[in-house]
Amino acid sequence: MTEKELNQLHWINKEIGVLKKQKEELESQSYCKGQEITGMPFGSGTTDKVGNRAIAIQEINELYEIKLKELYVVRGRIERYINTVEGAELRLILRLRCINNLSWEQIAIETGYERTTVSKKYRNHFK
């Protein structure tokens, strides 16, 4: 497995975060709109704002569910790969970086090494 494949979990988590934020924004919008008085005539529109918003929320929910399923598949593949790596120390570094999405500083604190040491061990694994 390549470094790029291991990083997919990070980007899928980012996508899920964006979808969740969009969903929350759509759900929090008010359905009531104040009347606008402009003095100009206007026609009555036939758009269904509530229906359109419900469709948008449903589409976001479906995308969210698809991304969650993708996350579980990719995470399982990465977990299986990490379990095949020799050396508990390297497995821990890979798990903290790829599964837990920790920074090099956070991994250094967890392992008791310097930040540069853990990043070198990680990079050397892929050479």
- pLDDT tens digits, one per residue of 54-110: 888 899 999 999 999 999 999 999 999 999 999 999 999 999 999 998 999 999 999
Question: In the prediction, which pLDDT does 30 show?
Answer: 65
Which of 4-18, 19-33, 36-50, 69-83 has the least mean pLDDT?
36-50
Cα–Cα distance for residue pair 89/94, rounded to 1 Å: 9
Cα–Cα distance for residue pair 68/109, rounded to 1 Å: 30
Task: Give the chain's mean pLDDT.
Answer: 87
Q: Are 74 and 12 spatial neighbours (Cβ–Cβ below 8 Å)?
A: yes
Q: Where are the domains of the chain?
A: 1-21+50-84, 87-127
Question: In the prediction, which pLDDT does 52 show?
Answer: 83
3-state secondary structure of 31: coil
Cα–Cα distance for residue pair 94/88, rounded to 1 Å: 10
Instruction: Tell the residue number behind the tokens 């990719």, with chain if given.
Output: 74
pTM above 0.85, yes or no: no
User: Cβ–Cβ contacts within 10 Å for residue 93, how many?
Assistant: 26
Question: In the prediction, which pLDDT does 28 show?
Answer: 84
- % of the chain with per-residue pLDDT over 90: 64
User: Cβ–Cβ contacts within 10 Å for residue 96, how many?
Assistant: 20
Instruction: Average the pLDDT over 113-125 and give the result.
Output: 94
Question: In the prediction, which pLDDT does 29 show?
Answer: 77
Q: Are 23 and 57 spatial neighbours (Cβ–Cβ below 8 Å)?
A: yes
